[in-house]
Amino acid sequence: MDTIFAKIISREVPADIMYETDQVVAFRDINPQAPVHVLVVPKKWVKGIESATSEDDLQSLLLAAAEVARIEGVERSGYRLVINSGQHGGQTVDHLHVHVLGGRPMAWPPG
């Protein structure tokens, strides 16, 4: 499915890509909610975590998110990984992605 993230992966739409592997692309969120706010996106389209299967490489996705946190220098101070799913989850782009949020304390529970 051709979402905005597919266009970022194919470089049709510019983004601040700060990390890439054969499996994922990571780029800065256009509307950052924290000093560090990076989206980690699988190159292979998956609509969301609710439709992911064991065929999808979720391990690479999560390990890439942890690597992004390391690169951004928030590993020691701490950070949050978020996957929004569906309407109540606040998902606005139908292409699975992990938010890496850091650089400030995070509230719990989320609003």
Residues at the interface with ligand DGP (CB under 6 A): 4, 13, 15, 27-31, 39, 84, 90-93
Q: Which residues are registered as beta bridge partners of 39? A: 27, 99
SS3 (DSSP) at 102: strand
Alpha helix (H) ranges present in the chain? Answer: 4-9, 58-72, 86-89
Among the listed residues 37, 95, 97, 99, the single catalytic one is 97
**Least distance between ligand DGP and beta carbon 89 (Å):** 7
Nearer to ligand DGP, 54 or 92 (CB): 92
CA–CA dist 97, 78 (Å, integer): 20
Active site residue 37: no
**Least distance between ligand DGP and beta carbon 36 (Å):** 13
E-assigned strand segments in 11-72: 17-20, 24-28, 36-42
**Least distance between ligand DGP and beta carbon 90 (Å):** 5
Tell me which residues are annotated as active site.
97
